[in-house]
């Protein structure tokens, strides 16, 4: 459920009706989650996001007409829409994920993830956090950093302290708050506070955008 106790409202956007139907049954059968709309195209997803005001849009990438990346860009840029976008992809679709993250997605799922992991991901994103599917984080980050478009320019991080730069570097390497705390010998609460301040200082929507900022600033280099 959301912070006020109401169910998390979900829109499903996928051009395959069977996938939408399966996800709808799964989500509607889960306490605290409810599907408020289904879309078969990116344009429909944008319209439903504006009309139904969901908390999360589970978005496929490949759809006819407006694809999931463009739809994500519209939803993330609309000040009247508070929905967060959780992208669906496969291992072979990594090239699309980079664009989706820059468009404002709060993370992505791999379509063959366990059903309970999909439900957990919806809750994580609804709570305001970002999520990158387990097992592909390192590959995503490594390939994302290696792409020329990932670092159009490297500029100083104005107002960011030395400690916050250390935290941002670790976020860029895919570390969780608990892992950051252990590596820097600080408490998990302190690590979380540093991440929160970085979100505010860098005007980032979520943790995914902090990963992008770390690479844009040159704090993390592509893996060899």
Q: Do 125 and 167 belong together in one domain?
A: no
Question: What is the C-alpha to C-alpha distance for residues 73 and 54, in angstroms, rounded to an integer?
Answer: 16
Span 93-148, pLDDT tens digits:
666 767 787 788 887 777 777 788 888 889 888 887 766 665 555 555 555 555 55
Q: Do 91 and 30 belong together in one domain?
A: yes
Q: State the average pLDDT for the chain.
A: 83
Do 68 and 108 meet the contact criterion of CB atoms below 8 Å apart? no
Q: What percent of the chain has pLDDT over 70?
A: 81
- Is pLDDT of 187 > 90? yes
Residues near 40 by beta carbon (within 8 Å), at least 6 away in sequence: 13, 14, 15, 17, 20, 63, 64
Specify the pTM. 0.70
Domain that holds residue 83: 8-135
Q: Which helix (H) or strand (E) holds 214?
A: helix 207-216
pLDDT band at 10 (very low <50, low <70, confident <90, very high): very high
Residue 223 lies in a domain: no
Q: Do 115 and 19 belong together in one domain?
A: yes
- What's the confidence (pLDDT) of residue 158? 81
Strands (E), 144-217: none
Q: What percent of the chain has pLDDT over 90?
A: 45
Q: Do 114 and 162 belong together in one domain?
A: no
The pairing of beta strand 84-89 with beta strand 56-60 = parallel
Residue 66 lies in a domain: yes
- What's the confidence (pLDDT) of residue 143? 59
Per-range mean pLDDT, top range of 100-109, 144-153, 187-196, 211-220: 187-196
């Amino acid at each position: 459920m959301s912070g006020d106790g109401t169910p998390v409202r979900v829109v499903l956007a996928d051009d395959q009706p069977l996938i939408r139907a399966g996800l709808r049954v799964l989500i509607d059968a889960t306490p605290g989650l409810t599907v408020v709309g289904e879309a078969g195209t990116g344009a429909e997803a944008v319209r439903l996001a504006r009309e139904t005001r969901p908390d999360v849009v589970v978005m496929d990438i490949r759809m006819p007409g407006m694809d999931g990346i463009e739809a994500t860009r519209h939803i993330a840029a609309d000040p009247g829409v508070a929905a967060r976008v959780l992208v669906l992809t496969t291992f072979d679709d990594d090239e699309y994920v980079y664009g989706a993250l820059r468009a404002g997605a709060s993370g992505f799922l791999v379509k063959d993830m366990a059903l309970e992991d999909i439900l957990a991901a919806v809750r994580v994103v609804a709570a305001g956090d970002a999520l990158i599917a387990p097992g592909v984080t390192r590959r995503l980050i490594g390939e994302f950093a290696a792409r020329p478009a990932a670092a159009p320019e490297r500029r100083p991080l104005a107002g960011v302290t030395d400690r916050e730069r250390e935290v941002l570097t670790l976020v860029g390497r895919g570390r969780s708050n608990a892992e950051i705390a252990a590596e820097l010998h600080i408490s998990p609460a302190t690590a979380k506070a540093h991440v929160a301040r970085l979100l505010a200082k860098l005007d980032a929507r979520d943790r995914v955008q902090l990963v992008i900022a770390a690479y844009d600033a040159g704090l993390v280099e592509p893996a060899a």
